[in-house]
């Protein structure tokens, strides 16, 4: 698409870099850390980007109770540091608003901000009631992005993304845990899958569709926030049923619930109203739930067959 893409990497000898290079041959990498303001300023100065996408976060909800302060620093204050890096490098102050050619900023906001939902489906104007330190930190990033738009006239927008999945999803998240679990049981590597709350429901979509929406948001004439989701909700139990049926198994023979995966506060049901994105961006998801889960199960069967059953263990699926 004519993009030159740079990825920000953190840490010394980060073990994910090798994996990343195999996956994304064309992406150039630059060092920087959301905890380090100077490193972000240096990265923006070096790359001179037209667009910045902040997809970085501590994003696993259970971990946000274990490391609540770090989640606030990375997922919340990290947004401030990226916005400040853009502002400083663009020479924007309250008395000097950006001109043409300004850097456009995308913030990955989350449906977890709705938490205990006030209405269903959720729109751009549904009030937030986050239910985890992660949701609280994302709400901070969301409001700060709006605030930088209003304070400095920056082209800064948030996509309120509902859960988006793909075969690349970490195995600690329920979709991948289930597709990997079903594939392992099918191939005889395991007999049982232990899960938490089977009654929770989510609006699950395909990550590729959501990335397309991000790009469309930054290509608009004027900055605005959008809900991105499918508008269709399924329970964890329906997810499990779909994944196990895809490999010809009955989930009831293999899935057990385990209190270790129950969270201190739960988000029961999320469902997007993506009409604004459809009307203004012309965005619609191309891949539905059944197709998404079948894609993930197929990819996991293939991965396990080629790796001798050890796939997905780099992240672990331990309880929190
Ligand atoms: P989240 O919506 O960002 O928290 O995404 P997750 O994929 O981590 O969790 C989605 C839902 O699945 C939540 O309501 C969880 O409580 C529920 N769930 C049930 N069992 C599990 C499990 O074993 N692992 C995870 N990650 N979630 C589970």
pLDDT of residue 137: 98
Kindly state the average pLDDT of the residues 144-148: 98
Write out residues with Cβ below 6 Å of ligand 1.
61, 112, 163, 172-175, 177, 195-197, 200, 202, 236, 261, 263, 266-267
Give the active site residue among 59, 111, 112, 140.
Answer: 112
pLDDT of residue 96: 59
pLDDT digit string (tens) for 268-315?
A: 999 999 999 999 999 999 999 999 999 999 999 999 999 887 776 654
pLDDT of residue 316: 46
Cα-to-centroid distance, 59 and ligand 1 (Å): 12
Cα-to-centroid distance, 307 and ligand 1 (Å): 26
Kindly state the average pLDDT of the residues 45-73: 97
Cα-to-centroid distance, 315 and ligand 1 (Å): 15
Reported as a pLDDT band with limits 50, 70 and 90, residue 95 is low
Q: Which of 141, 126, 166 is nearest to 271 (CA)?
A: 126
CA angle, 255 then 258 then 262, to 5°: 120
pTM of structure? 0.95
Mean per-residue pLDDT of the chain = 94
CA angle, 82 then 83 then 88, to 5°: 100
pLDDT at 99 over 80: no
pLDDT digit string (tens) for 211-264?
A: 999 999 999 999 999 999 999 999 999 999 999 999 999 999 999 999 999 999
pLDDT digit string (tens) for 161-214?
A: 999 999 999 999 999 999 999 999 999 999 999 999 999 999 999 999 999 999
User: 89-127: string of b/e by CB count within 10 Å (b at 16+)?
Assistant: bbebeeeeebeeebbbbbbbbbbbbbbebeeebbeeebe
pLDDT of residue 18: 85
In angstroms, the CA 210 to CA 285 distance is 8
């Amino acid at each position: 698409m004519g993009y030159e893409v740079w990825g920000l990497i953190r840490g010394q000898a980060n073990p994910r870099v090798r994996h990343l290079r195999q996956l994304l041959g064309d992406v150039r990498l630059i060092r920087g850390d959301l905890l380090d303001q100077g490193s972000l300023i240096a990265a923006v100065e070096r790359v001179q980007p037209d667009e910045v996408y902040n997809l970085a976060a501590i994003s696993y909800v259970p971990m946000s109770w274990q490391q609540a302060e770090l989640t606030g620093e990375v997922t919340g204050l990290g947004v401030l540091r990226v916005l400040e890096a853009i502002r400083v490098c663009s020479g924007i102050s309250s008395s000097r608003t950006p001109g043409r050619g300004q850097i456009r900023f995308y913030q990955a906001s989350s449906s977890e901000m709705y938490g205990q939902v006030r209405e269903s489906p959720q729109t751009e104007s549904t009030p937030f009631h986050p239910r985890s330190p992660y949701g609280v930190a994302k709400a901070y990033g969301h409001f700060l992005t709006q605030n930088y738009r209003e304070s400095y006239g920056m082209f800064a927008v948030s996509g309120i993304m509902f859960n988006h999945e793909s075969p690349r999803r970490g195995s600690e998240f329920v979709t991948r845990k289930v597709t990997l679990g079903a594939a392992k049981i099918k191939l005889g590597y395991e007999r049982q899958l232990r899960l938490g709350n089977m009654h929770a429901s989510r609006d699950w979509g395909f990550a590729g569709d959501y990335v397309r929406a991000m790009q469309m948001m930054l290509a608009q004439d004027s900055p605005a926030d959008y809900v991105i989701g499918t508008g269709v909700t399924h329970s964890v139990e329906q997810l499990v049923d779909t994944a196990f049926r895809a490999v010809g198994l009955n989930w009831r023979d293999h899935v057990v619930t385990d209190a270790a995966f129950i969270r201190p506060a739960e988000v029961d049901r999320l469902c997007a109203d993506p009409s604004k994105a459809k009307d203004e961006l012309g965005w619609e998801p191309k891949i539905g739930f059944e197709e998404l889960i079948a894609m993930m199960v197929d990819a996991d069967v293939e991965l396990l067959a080629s790796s001798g059953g050890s796939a997905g263990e780099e992240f672990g699926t331990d309880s929190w």
